[in-house]
Amino acid sequence: MTIPGRKARLEDAEAVTALVHAAYAPWVAVIGTAPGPMLCDYAGMIADHFVTVTEDEAGLREVSVLILQDDAVLIDNIAVRPDLQGRGLGRRMIEMAEINARLYGFPKTRLYVHEKMGRNIALYQSLGYVITKRVTEQGLNRVYMEKALDPWPSGPRPRP
């Protein structure tokens, strides 16, 4: 079953923040500090970027944050409610981000992950992402990854 997503609204900021904190909480012990997504101002992200949510009767299910860059779409964050993790929802959100990037004519998607999040790095590599650089930002050791995208076929494009 596919749950349709919608663009997040400013009034979603508190729920988005709560979902992100719940989704990333297990990583605090692994990396020794709060992961980057736990430090974001989601009201600002909703106002300035492309934030999508899905929801069900229990509230928000998933959040994705996409940032349009000059040469790529940055998948800044994908978060899935803890009780729904492990069902392929994050993978589906990444695939949707890639489709949107292609629709808008971007040649690649980019993302980053903390270097200690090995499971996530392996997932992204299995989806075709390659490591492009390792940097320290905001005190966090990050691995940047990119995926080249096939151009959208010529002809009419569906509405994103």
Instruction: For 111-135, write each residue's pLDDT tens digit.
Output: 999 999 888 999 999 999 999 999 9
Consecutive H or E run containing 6: strand 6-7
Q: Can you identify the CATH homologous superfamily of domain 6-106?
A: Gcn5-related N-acetyltransferase (GNAT) (3.40.630.30)
How far is the first Cα of the chain from the last one, in angstroms, to the nearest whole number? 20
Tens of pLDDT, residue by residue over 53-110, are 999 888 899 999 999 999 999 999 999 999 999 898 889 999 999 998 998 889 999 9
Evaluate if residue 153 carries a pLDDT over 80: no
Give residue limits of the domains in the chain: 6-106
**Full-model pTM:** 0.89
